[in-house]
Amino acid sequence: MKYFRTKIKGLMALPAAILLSTSCFAATPSTADINTTGLAITDDTVTVGILHSLTGTMAISETGAQEAEKLAISQINEMGGILGRKIEIVQEDGASDWPTFAEKSRKLLVRDKVAAVFGAWTSASRKAVLPVFEKENGLLYYPTFYEGLEQSKNVIYTGQEATQQILDGLNWVAKEKKAKTFYLIGSDYIWPRTSMKIARKHIENVLGGKVVGEEYKPLGDTQFGSVINKIRLKKPDVIYAAVVGGSNVAWFKQLKAAGITAKKQTLLTISVTEDEVLGIGGENLEGFYSIMKYFQSQDNENNKAFVKAFKEMWGEDSVIGDVTQAAYLGPWLWKAAVEKAGSFDVDKVVKASEEGEIELKTAPEGYVKLHPNHHLWSVARVGEWKKDGQATVVYESGLIEPNPFPEGYQ
Amino acid sequence: MNFVYEKLMGGKQGLLGFVLLAALILVIMPMFFDIFRLNLIGKYLTYAFAAVSLVLLWGYGGILSLGQGVFFGLGGYGMAMFLKLEASSPENTKIQSTPGIPDFMDWNQITELPWFWVPFESFTLTIIAILTLPALFAYIIGKAMFTRRVGGVYFAIITQVIAVILTILIVGQQGFTGGINGITDLRTLNGWDITSDSAKYFFYFLNAGLLLTVIVISRFILTSKFGSLLLAMRDKEDRVRFSGYDVAHFKIFIFSFAAMISAIGGAMFTLQVGFMSPSFVGIVPSIEMVIFAAVGGRISLIGAVYGTLMINAGKTAFSESFPELWLFLMGGLFISVVMFFPNGLAGLWNDYAPRVFPFLKEKAKTKDVPPVVTDETGKGTV
Amino acid sequence: MFDEYTYSELGSIFAMQGFAGISLFSVLLLMALGLAIIFGQMGVINMAHGEFMAVGAYTTYFMSTLTETYFPSLMPYYFLVAIVVAFCVAGVLGYLAEYALIRHLYKRPLDTLLATWGLSLIMQQSFRTLFGAREVSPTLPDWLLGSYQPTDTIDIPLNGMFVLALTAVVTLGVFYLLYKSSWGLRVRATTQNRVMSGAVGINTKSVDRYTFALGCGIAGIAGAAFTTIASTGPTTGTLYIVDTFMVVVFGGAASLIGTIVSAFSIAQAQSLLEFFISGSMAKVYTLFALVLILMFKPEGLFASKVRR
């Protein structure tokens, strides 16, 4: 916490809005009133869980998310906590192993009685913990952009669901680049496949374009020679990519080595954030586009303060990707909902969240609002990558309504 | 009575070990742990099925399978398919474009239940499938390999490749298998809520009972003439063959039997954990199962259970406090168990138990199973 | 699928597709060479082979960072030095591993499998502790980036050509060492009959140790070469290990020619299949075909005696 003794001024912008709206809770309410379900809450603390992989293959991706969550929590504590209670963290390691996620989430809910859990990253880990949260009536804030097709009473999704992320970006590329033909390529698992399905329907039915190829590579595969040749043969206007993990690096390196660069080819990806660029190298991505809801380079006051605080806490070299920012929203959204409900009880917090009035005017990504379907209203942005590993935002949509079960796209 | 004593329990020492184990998992653990911990132990005990199967296969048969996860997974998927179909009743899935099929199929534009899912609508057929399909699969693999005298490291590597193939297939064919997320959100078994505490207690004891039964049956197999033959094959395969035995058949049998045991473990896993995913089919879990058996002592059925419990409990405890250290410890354990304690926990027991329980003394000397560390190079037939 | 293309376009595609196959071949061969020596000549199953590759890759990354910080002017050349250093570092580690671990287990091949798996876990965690959990990739010199364009429509990746050339050099080197040098003679003698070799005065223990070190060193070179294609993380090694074993086993354990032929056929099969069907299924079919062939021909393509 020593990071926060000073330099808090810049951060006041974010809390200010919430603080104003909740100033009526000046007197600390009694624990019996705000905790009727036996959660781990004392007269001056409330315990929450953080559940991400610290070890194993997913540790690379999940590090940023848990760092952001800790940052948000320490900022909230600096401001006096929630309902007069400081937040204490119990952190568990999901170890990139789905049953471990289920086991640890059960521990957090049953043994530690945490009031909320911030965590999970992959769809598989979310699917594994979902029944536990529903059974034990816990509350999970899930940060990753994901495939949609899910809406649980016990989960708040702070990342984008597939249609939010995909559709506007496709519209942009069709309009801006006059794109008619698309080549879809992704890693072989549920998120790329669902995203590609939505993209294909949109391209064929709405944009009147054509999908000239659709390809899935096993996770971790590093050989893209044949795929790149297929792409050459098809000459698509746009390569639309959702390759993840270690494969991502191989894919972009090999594209560049094969002479497919932004000069000749438009490439739009939905799986590259600042985190991935670290591994891929900005020079291999230069000129390609990502669709995300957040980029570190976004130029607004909220974001500047956030980036500054993040770097102070976690080091000058840290980069912030889309998921990291979404994870940062979790504790703030929870705070807002708890204060609105005036209680930590999961049912009341969920009810307050569902009324559609929870908003963060000062989120780093800009304004977000919680939809009754537990997802966030958010903006889709197209960023163009530069050599230094940062992106320039070249397009911003309006606020998009989350639609986890999109009609006509299933 | 003598039959029970000698053949099923393995004499005085075996009986003592068995009774201690039974007391531990049936009485002591349920007494001292709440349902949350007990459920965890139940999960570990499902891995013990695979470890016990490896004792038969590797410790006695000298056949190292790096693909036990395949059979564990097949058993688990069998049970998961049944539970998923029950969870996907038309009422539960009415928001789907095709109600009545599992949700992941609906997301993948599958409009009809695939033919190989249909038998899993019946509980009886599911149980039959869990008990026979993995064994049948093992029979086919074993038949193809052992009759051509593929053995030793080649067999290990090929089983590993089969594990890789199956993982890629399950992940790639997500419309039929649930993909990398696996088959999740399993709630009821014939209408009975499997996430309730009473169900968890029931499955824990069922699991423990099945495990003990499997150990007794395995003990019977090992103390029979077949067990002696297995050991003989492990140590001097050619001599057994020259004595007129068809070595391949014995190997195929024990491989199929081991597959069946692992599959039971997988099915119990699904029931207790509530989902099944391809991460239990691949290389890493398969090798971990081998280390469970190795820590237990690879020729001790009961040791395998303790090995499994010890490593998993260690994993849970260590990964909570020192996630960094855990891999070092695990790696060190692999190395030391191979180099310094090839007889594992069972070896320690055999060395020290007679001192603690003097009445075991005279028996322990005569009942010694031949040591593990022998010249195994004769095994590879290539 | 080819109707709408001119012959010259198709020609270019096929040329590039051929190169994609050859490039995969060189990658597989480079991975498998070290293992072929260790497994083929010594009968040791080294599950940590992938981690020795990662050692090479991390060494390259380390050299790249070092050069970038202290001698930026030398950036174009560091990569060649890094390959040599990678070879030495991985070789020395291999030497130590043999001394501390492997030599006690020569008579128990299945146990080496477990012990080296343990070794691989320890190495993975060491990478994580030393270099962090994130994937890293070294800054490559410019001459390794981009492509060579003999005609307008053909792009041959430079890194692919580099790996191919490196593989050729390493393969020739291994051949020379094993079949032309007196040391190679001793290795082969030990492979064929350890007791007799000892009797005629060959120090079989030293032969073992250097053979293992050489195999690991070559893995280090492979790792260095891979940094031109993909990134390196703590668990990178496990991605390659099964493929590598398949190449060696399919080729026939003790035959270097077999390893080359097997790498070539697997690479061509896979890249051709990938051209016509989806990547995942191509991999499944390739592996499945290999298992089937191995069931009928368990000794692999080129059978040879393994040390007993």
- Domains and their CATH numbers in chain A: 2-160+298-374 (3.40.50.2300), 162-292+382-400 (3.40.50.2300)
C-alpha angle B7/B10/B14, rounded to 5°? 155
Min Cα separation A111/chain C (Å): 30
CA-to-CA distance for B218 and A15, rounded, in angstroms? 65
Does A2 have pLDDT greater than 60? no
Across A57-61, A151-155, B62-66, C288-292, least confident range: A57-61
Give B 288-307 residues with CB within 8 A of chain C. Answer: 290-291, 294
pLDDT of residue B7: 66
Pairwise CB contact (< 8 Å): B339 & C114: no
pLDDT given for residue B10 in this prediction: 66
The beta strand positions in chain B, using DSSP E, are: 188-189, 192-193
What mean pLDDT comes out for the span B95-102?
A: 84
Residue predicted with more confidence, B34 or A8? B34
Tell me the mean pLDDT in the region A171-194. Answer: 90
Q: Are B296 and B55 in contact (CB under 8 A)?
A: yes
Q: What pLDDT score was predicted for residue B104?
A: 87
Most confident of B89-98, B137-146, B224-233, B257-266: B257-266
Residue C1 confidence (pLDDT) above 80: no
Give chains near C: 3+ CB pairs under 8 A: A, B
Q: Which of B147, B149, B158 is the best mutation test for C, with the most CBs of C within 10 A?
A: B158
User: Between chains, do B185 and A127 touch, taking CB under 8 Å as contact?
Assistant: yes
Q: Name the residue facing C274 among A55, A56, A227 (closest C-beta).
A: A227
pTM: 0.86
The verdict on residue B15 lying in a domain is no
Q: Which chains touch B (3 or more CB pairs under 8 A)?
A: A, C
Question: Taking residues A326-349, what's their average pLDDT?
Answer: 95
Please indicate, yes or no, if residue C57 is contained in any of the structural domains.
yes
Helix (H, G, I), strand (E, B) or coil at A92: strand
User: Which pLDDT value is given to residue B3?
Assistant: 66
Nearest CA to CA, how far is A187 from chain C (Å)? 9
Cα-based torsion angle of the residue sequence A269, A272, A277, A281 in order, rounded to the nearest 10 degrees: -30
Chain C contact set for B324 (CB, 8 A): 125, 128-129
- Cα A349 to Cα A334: distance, rounded to the nearest angstrom: 8
Chain A residue with minimum CA distance to B111: A410
State the average pLDDT over residues B206-222. 94
Tokens of A365: 């990504």
Q: What is the pLDDT of residues A48-75, one digit of tens each?
A: 999 998 877 777 778 899 999 999 999 9
Least confident of A137-141, B61-65, B91-95: B91-95
- Number of folded domains in chain C? 1
The 10 Å Cβ neighbour count of residue C302 is 18
Check CB contact under 8 Å for C279 and A278. no
Q: Which residues in chain B have Cβ-Cβ distances shorter than 8 Å to A98?
A: 182, 275, 277, 279
* B8 within a domain of the structure (yes/no): no
β-sheet bridge partners, residue B88? none
Q: Which of B113, B115, B46 is nearest to B86 (CA)?
A: B113
- Tell me whether B336 touches chain A (CB under 8 Å): no
CB contact under 8 A, C271 and A256: no
Q: How far is CA B13 from CA B17, B298, C115, in A?
A: 6, 17, 30
B382 touches chain C (CB under 8 A): yes
Q: A33: pLDDT confidence band, cut at 50, 70 and 90?
A: confident
Q: Does A12 have pLDDT greater than 70? A: no
CB within 8 Å: A128 and B279: no
Chain B residues touching C295 at Cβ < 8 A: 144-145, 148, 150, 158
Give me chain C's average pLDDT, please.
86
The tokens for A252 are 């972009």
Percent of all residues in chain B with a pLDDT value above 90, rounded to a whole number: 43
Minimum distance, in Å, between the CA of residue C209 and any CA atom of chain A: 32
B150, C294: Cβ pair inside 8 Å? yes
Run of H or E including A382: strand A376-385
Q: Which domain holds residue C124?
A: 30-235
Question: What confidence category does residue A11 fall into, taking pLDDT thresholds of 50, 70 and 90?
Answer: very low
Report pLDDT digits (tens) over C96-148.
999 999 988 888 877 888 899 899 999 998 998 898 777 788 888 888 877 88
In a domain, B270, yes or no: yes
Interface of C with B in 68-107 (CB under 8 A): 101, 104-105, 107
Query: Based on the structure, what is the number of domains in chain B?
Result: 1
| CA–CA gap between residue A364 and residue A298 (Å, rounded) | 8
Residue C294 domain flag? no
Beta-bridge partner residues of A213:
A183
- CB distance from A257 to chain C under 8 Å? yes
Asked if B330 lies within 8 A of C121 by C-beta distance, the reply is yes
Contact across the interface for C124 and B149, Cβ inside 8 Å:
no
Tokens, residue B87: 């969870």
Q: By the CB < 8 Å criterion, does B179 face chain A?
A: yes
In a domain, residue C147? The reply is yes
Residue contact B64–C110, C-beta within 8 A: yes
Assess contact for A174 and A289: CB atoms under 8 A.
no
* Token couple for C181: 């040098």
Within 10 Å of residue A223's Cβ, how many Cβ atoms?
A: 27
Long-range contacts, A159-162 (Cβ 8 Å, 24+):
A159/A293, A159/A322, A159/A323, A159/A326, A160/A293, A160/A375, A160/A376, A160/A378, A160/A380, A160/A402, A161/A375, A161/A402, A161/A403, A161/A404, A162/A191, A162/A194, A162/A195, A162/A198, A162/A406
Q: Any residues with CB less than 8 A from the CB of C13 and at least 6 apart, and which?
A: A229, A232, A233, C5
Q: Is residue C106 part of a domain?
A: yes
Are A238 and A179 spatial neighbours (Cβ–Cβ below 8 Å)?
yes
Taking residues B244-250, what's their average pLDDT? 89
Tell me the chain B residues in contact with residue A95 when contact means C-beta distances shorter than 8 Å: 319, 323
Q: Does B137 touch chain C (CB under 8 A)?
A: no
Q: Using the beta-carbon criterion (under 8 Å), do B161 and C238 form an inter-chain contact?
A: no
For residue A269, pLDDT over 90 is answered with yes
> What range does the domain containing B184 cover?
26-368
Dihedral over Cα of B69, B73, B74, B75: its sign: positive
Q: What's the gap in Å between the CA of A199 and the closest CA on chain C?
A: 18
**Contact yes or no for C137 and A280 at CB 8 A:** yes
ipTM associated with this complex: 0.86
State the sign of the Cα–Cα–Cα–Cα dihedral C208, C211, C213, C219: negative
Handedness of CA A315, A318, A322, A323 (dihedral sign): negative
Is C231 a member of any domain? yes
Could you tell me if residue B380 is inside a domain?
Answer: no
Provide the pLDDT for residue B145. 87
Contact C118 B378 (CB under 8 A): no
The C-alpha torsion from C101 through C106 and C112 to C116, rounded to 10°, is: 40
Average pLDDT over residues A232-250: 88
- The answer, for B184 touching chain A at a CB cutoff of 8 Å, is yes
> What is the reported pLDDT for B360?
60
Is the four-CA dihedral C174, C176, C181, C184 of positive or negative sign?
Answer: positive
Kindly list the residues from chain C whose CB atom is less than 8 angstroms away from the CB atom of residue A281.
137, 139
Does a structural domain hold residue C186?
yes
Q: C9 burial class (0-12, 13-18, 19+ CB within 10 angstroms)?
A: middle
pLDDT of residue A19: 44
Cα dihedral C200, C206, C210, C216 sign: positive
Q: CA B251, CA B299: separation in Å to the nearest integer?
A: 17
Per-residue pLDDT band at C302 (split at 50, 70, 90): confident
Record: contact B185-A130, CB cut-off 8 A: yes
CB-CB under 8 Å, A131 with B195: yes
Cα(B103)–Cα(B82) distance, rounded to whole angstroms? 14
Residue C125 neighbours by CB distance under 10 Å: 21
Report the pLDDT value the prediction gives residue B376, as an integer from 0 to 100.
41
**Interval B352-378: pLDDT, tens:** 777 776 666 544 443 445 544 444 433
pLDDT value for A272: 92
Is residue B93 predicted with pLDDT exceeding 80? Answer: yes
Q: Hey, is the C-beta of B104 within 8 angstroms of any chain A C-beta?
A: yes
SS3 assignment, position B122? coil
Give the A:B interface size as CB pairs under 8 Å.
89
Predicted confidence band of residue C171 (pLDDT cuts 50, 70, 90): very high
